[in-house]
Structure 1
Amino acid sequence: MQSKKNPRSILKSCSQTCKQEIYRAALRYRKAGLSLIPIATNQSKAPAFDLLPLINADGSKQNERKSWKVFQKRKPHRSEINHWYSLDKDIYGIAIVAGKVSGNLEILDLDNSDIIEPFCLEVESRAPGLLDKLPKVETPRPGLHCYYRCEKIEGNQKLAKIIPSDSANAQTIIETRGEGGYCLAPPSPATCHPSLKCYQYYGDKDLSMIPQITITERKHLLEAARVFDECSKISPQKTRPTLSKKKQYDLTRPGDDFNFRGKWAEILEPHGWMYAGTGTDHTDRWTRPGKDQGFCSASTNYMESDLLYVFSSNAEPFEINTAYSKFHAYTLLNCAGDFSEAASELKFRGYGKNRYDLKSKRSWRKDLRK
């Protein structure tokens, strides 16, 4: 990603926001094919409802209410923009409405500064140069909005969640604003946001320069975002053991014995995987070969399952969003998927003997006493 340097000259830094600049930006956004709405300056990020038109869903006068949803279907008229941002009125912010009305606009919203750089690197590994094409806005949290148009878009989606160490509730860190959504944009006043901070451009592209990307490029963006999801991994009902490992496995079989006694580090590290620490859900994290250490490509022991779960699409021979036992992972990495060969190798290494046969142990002790 390009470094944050001079914002576009057409839009001053949000710290220098004035009515004239907001009005000028609103006109330019509309000319660029974007629908927009006015935002209240009460730190709520909510629409300025007092400026919006009345609608009534059922045609009755008593159910009339002011709503921004009309601008999900059409762009505001020039006269409406003049009314919202005229110099004799209070100051208001700007939000861009996503969806078909804005030329199939979708906005990727990264709400955690810690994942911005890893996300950008993940996208770059999948689609080099893609992020450089997109206008980007630094948000007050701080976070990042990435704007693009695509033939295929959807409604708002939550792509990645984490569970903070100080909370039991999941927190969304990456989502989209698609059909039915909106995002605040520069040069909205700082008083539009609870933090009293501004939205500012990141890089050298503004919202009059939103490109059309391909369906494949959009897929790369969404898949890169899902890499950072810590919550939608494996269904606990399918993976959480209800019995002890000793009772689950037939330890006379090399594969089962390896599942019981093997170590994930011994399986993954010889093939270039790197341990990336422990996640907030107490799973062990792993970085696939070819990625910088610390970036998460898979986890082990989610919900005490003792399984490897891969959430990178570039982790061959593993498939994305798939769980693997130790024996399965060993077979793919060392024996090209041949389970018979893997069982033979592990038997040669001492797995699958009757080490846990208590009757045999008692007989052995009896022989010693003789």
Structure 2
Amino acid sequence: MNERPSLHVGDSAIRPTQYSTACEYLAGGMSVIPLRCDGSKSPRVAWNDYRQRFPSDDELQSWFSRPAGIGIVCGIQSGGLEVLDFDERADITFSSWCERIPTELIDRLPVVRTGGLGYHVLYRCSVIGGNTKIAMTAEGGVLVESRGEGGYIVAAQSQDGVHSSGRHYVQLRGVALPLVPIITPEERKLLWRAAAAMDERVDPMAEYVRQRRSQLRPKAESDTTTPWGDFDARADWSDILEPAGWTTSRGIAWTRPGKQFGTSAKVAIASDGTEVLVVYSSTAGPLAAEGTGHRTWGKFAAYAALHHGGDRSAAAKAVLALGYGRASR
């Protein structure tokens, strides 16, 4: 990621006081709360009250007359504030996510480097949710989650010691906080869809359906008289993708060549019962999605694109030689 110069003032001698910084966030329409400086990031007050009202100046002066970090309350009280939190494998995940977002949109959004070396992306929208784990690793680690109604985050320029690492929360790019732009529900959907595309969890029901359809497919009257039809019915995605440099852990979520982690595509079941590959990445070579959408490939079409430059005639001859199509039996 090409990080812009930090907006954080690193010299503690000239850094604004926590009181004045909290006042700036409050003036920006955000409800603030004090946080403990013991590395726990936990509130020093019963903070749910501040989901319905802003703190008074007396409260702010009382809170920040002694060391305390600044927490920003997300949700309706803060003008529809929602935050995407990139946690595990943050650099790789955030970079991959940015590839899927239009430049003009990502350039508007404040991005904060967290004390745990993750990223917070802030925006306001008329549509917000709660705290949601959007993308996780296959092992259960959190790649991307949201902070919305019922959540809070540590503010940039918050007091030292709020995070257990002792590192500051530093704004890297986007409009300068406390200004947080308003985006449309459609733009929010783009942000969430790009995050969800990196989810590595296997849906148990989807996997069950895939296995059952695979078991039942030979009984169906599908067109297996042609090499390409038989290839679509019987070929394995691993034999198509792995020789081209794609990787997977369980055969459902796939990572494009050149990446170590993240979901670039997923195997799904089409309406006719065949397996297809839904590609989300716009940098996935011959299979790349267009723009911020996705692209769906059948097995034979993907094989032709990856291994025969899109020449279906050459691909048909190759799969015929491999034993696909009734004419070859």
**Under a length normalisation based on structure 2, what TM-score does the superposition of the two structures give?**
0.75
> Where does residue 48 of structure 2 map in the other structure?
69
- Unmatched tracts of structure 1, length 5 or more: 53-66, 164-168, 334-341, 357-370
Check whether the contact 2:30–2:72 (CA below 8 A) recurs between aligned residues.
Answer: yes
> Where does residue 148 of structure 1 map in the other structure?
123
SS of alignment partner, residue 160 of structure 1: strand
Check whether the contact 1:310–1:322 (CA below 8 A) recurs between aligned residues.
Answer: yes
Q: Tell me, in whole angstroms, the C-alpha distance in 2 between the residues paired with 1:190 and 1:330.
A: 54
SS of alignment partner, residue 127 of structure 2: coil
> Where does residue 128 of structure 1 map in the other structure?
103
- Pairing partner for 1:21 from 6, 17, 27: 17
Query: Are positions 1:174 and 2:170 aligned together?
Result: no
Superposed CA deviations along residues 167-214 of structure 1, whole A, max 9, x for unmatched, are: xx3111111111111111122233222223221121364322211112
SS of alignment partner, residue 150 of structure 2: coil
Structure 1 residues 129 and 37, CA gap change in structure 2 (3 angstroms)? same
Q: Tell me, in whole angstroms, the C-alpha distance in 1 between the residues paired with 2:105 and 2:258.
A: 23
In structure 1, what residue type is equivalent to 2:135?
Answer: A
- Pairing partner for 2:247 from 254, 278, 293: 278
Q: Tell me, in whole angstroms, the C-alpha distance in 2 between the residues paired with 1:154 and 1:33.
A: 19
- Pairing partner for 1:42 from 38, 41, 46: 38
Structure 1 residues 246 and 137, CA gap change in structure 2 (3 angstroms)? closer
Structure 1 residues 114 and 128, CA gap change in structure 2 (3 angstroms)? closer
- Pairing partner for 1:92 from 65, 68, 71: 68
Q: Tell me, in whole angstroms, the C-alpha distance in 2 between the residues paired with 1:3 and 1:252.
A: 53
Q: How do 1:196-345 residues align onto structure 2 when only pairs under 5 Å count? A: 196-203=166-173, 205-231=175-201, 235-241=206-212, 253-254=225-226, 257-259=230-232, 262=235, 264=237, 275=244, 277-281=246-250, 283=252, 285=254, 287=256, 293-294=258-259, 296-300=263-267, 307-310=275-278, 312=280, 326=299
Q: Tell me, in whole angstroms, the C-alpha distance in 2 between the residues paired with 1:284 and 1:186.
A: 35
Superposed CA deviations along residues 223-250 of structure 1, whole A, max 9, x for unmatched, are: 1111211115571221125876996678
SS of alignment partner, residue 223 of structure 1: helix
Q: Tell me, in whole angstroms, the C-alpha distance in 2 between the residues paired with 1:246 and 1:103.
A: 52
Distance apart, 1:281 and its partner CA: 3.6
Moved more, 104-113 or 24-33: 104-113
Structure 1 residues 16 and 307, CA gap change in structure 2 (3 angstroms)? farther
After superposition, the CA RMSD in angstroms is 4.1
Structure 1 residues 17 and 182, CA gap change in structure 2 (3 angstroms)? farther
Query: Are positions 1:119 and 2:97 aligned together?
Result: yes
Q: Tell me, in whole angstroms, the C-alpha distance in 2 between the residues paired with 1:268 and 1:39.
A: 49
In structure 2, what residue type is equivalent to 1:114?
Answer: I
In structure 1, what residue type is equivalent to 2:80?
Answer: N
Query: Are positions 1:137 and 2:112 aligned together?
Result: yes
SS of alignment partner, residue 130 of structure 1: helix
Q: Tell me, in whole angstroms, the C-alpha distance in 1 between the residues paired with 2:249 and 2:164.
A: 27
- Unmatched tracts of structure 2, length 5 or more: 283-287, 307-311
Check whether the contact 2:224–2:233 (CA below 8 A) recurs between aligned residues.
Answer: no
> Where does residue 110 of structure 1 map in the other structure?
86
Structure 1 residues 316 and 7, CA gap change in structure 2 (3 angstroms)? closer
Q: Tell me, in whole angstroms, the C-alpha distance in 2 between the residues paired with 1:329 and 1:108.
A: 33
Number of paired residues? 304
Sequence identity (%)? 30
Q: Tell me, in whole angstroms, the C-alpha distance in 1 between the residues paired with 2:251 and 2:13.
A: 45
Structure with bigger gyration radius: 1
In structure 1, what residue type is equivalent to 2:99?
Answer: L
Check whether the contact 1:160–1:225 (CA below 8 A) recurs between aligned residues.
Answer: yes
Superposed CA deviations along residues 15-59 of structure 1, whole A, max 9, x for unmatched, are: 7389962111101100111001111112111111xxx3xxxxxxx
Structure 1 residues 321 and 209, CA gap change in structure 2 (3 angstroms)? same
Query: Are positions 1:185 and 2:155 aligned together?
Result: yes
In structure 1, what residue type is equivalent to 2:211?
Answer: R
In structure 2, what residue type is equivalent to 1:298?
Answer: A
In structure 2, what residue type is equivalent to 1:72?
Answer: R
Query: Are positions 1:82 and 2:40 aligned together?
Result: no
Check whether the contact 1:19–1:85 (CA below 8 A) recurs between aligned residues.
Answer: no
Check whether the contact 1:259–1:327 (CA below 8 A) recurs between aligned residues.
Answer: yes
Q: Tell me, in whole angstroms, the C-alpha distance in 2 between the residues paired with 1:354 and 1:203.
A: 60
Q: Tell me, in whole angstroms, the C-alpha distance in 1 between the residues paired with 2:6 and 2:229.
A: 60
Check whether the contact 2:280–2:289 (CA below 8 A) recurs between aligned residues.
Answer: no
Moved more, 16-25 or 69-78: 16-25
